[in-house]
Amino acid sequence: MVKLTMIARVTDGLPLAEGLDDGRDQKDADFYKQQAKLIFKNLSKGHHEASRMSIETGAYFFHYIIEGRVCYLTMCDRSYPKKLAFQYLEDLKNEFERVNGNQIETAARPYAFIKFDTFIQKTKKLYLDTRTQRNLAKLNDELYEVHQIMTRNVQEVLGVGEKLDQVSEMSSRLTSDTRIYADKAKDLNRQALIRKYAPVAIVIGVVFILFWLKNKIW
């Protein structure tokens, strides 16, 4: 099962988008999000052996792909099929490039593409059940192979300079960033609902006033 999804610019590690609901029911979610940020930091320094990699961390695996100076990363249960995890990332990559491709280099603030969470959540649901006909077909797709994708331990990837005990100290900073991100997403959803239902409310209001005036006159 997909537990975490983050997208960042490789050149400077700037987070661009994130799965808003990720980690809410998961213990130590902030710890793993901070690990993901440290991975992005290492990638921004040019410390990456391949454009596709799996990273073992506790009871989970990070999987990432790098394309067009952007890193698409997800964290899944150890039992979740590696092939589905990378196809999930491919789907995110294709849509993110299509929608935001010409704005990636100019993004100046964290989570500049907050609206992409909608697509993340929709796509994550498609990959939730590995037994669906759709996902079984993907697992049996011989044209998409992941056997050659290397696997590393998170301690190897982060290196001596980024001890894991530093992650817990830094997680408090991430908590505030996540809270800001969630507030912005709620504001966007609220604005969308207002735009959707305001015209209906106005029409109902006008009809009610006309009905009231009609009763008064007659």
Instruction: Select, from the ranges 16-30, 113-127, 153-167, the one with the highest average predicted confidence (pLDDT).
Output: 113-127
Q: Regarding predicted confidence, which is higher, 167 or 15?
A: 15
For the chain, the average pLDDT equals 83
How many Å apart are CA 208 and CA 187, to the nearest integer?
30
Calculate the alpha carbon distances from 128 to 46, 138, 141, 179, 182 in Å.
Answer: 33, 13, 18, 25, 22
Is the per-residue pLDDT at 23 higher than 70? no
111: alpha, beta or left, given left = phi > 0 and alpha = psi -120 to 50? left
Which tens digits make up the pLDDT trace of 41-57?
Answer: 999 988 777 899 999 99
How many Å apart are CA 23 and CA 31, to the nearest integer?
10
What is this structure's pTM? 0.73
Which tens digits make up the pLDDT trace of 123-143?
Answer: 999 999 998 999 899 888 876
Banded model confidence at residue 161, pLDDT cuts 50, 70, 90 = very low
- In the three-class reduction of DSSP (H, G, I as helix; E, B as strand; rest coil), residue 73 is classed as strand
What secondary structure letter does DSSP report for 132? Answer: S
How many Å apart are CA 188 and CA 175, to the nearest integer?
20
Banded model confidence at residue 185, pLDDT cuts 50, 70, 90 = low
Buried b (16+ CB within 10 A) or exposed e, 50-81: eebbbbbbeebbbbbbbbeebbbbbbbeeebe
Is the per-residue pLDDT at 113 higher than 80? yes
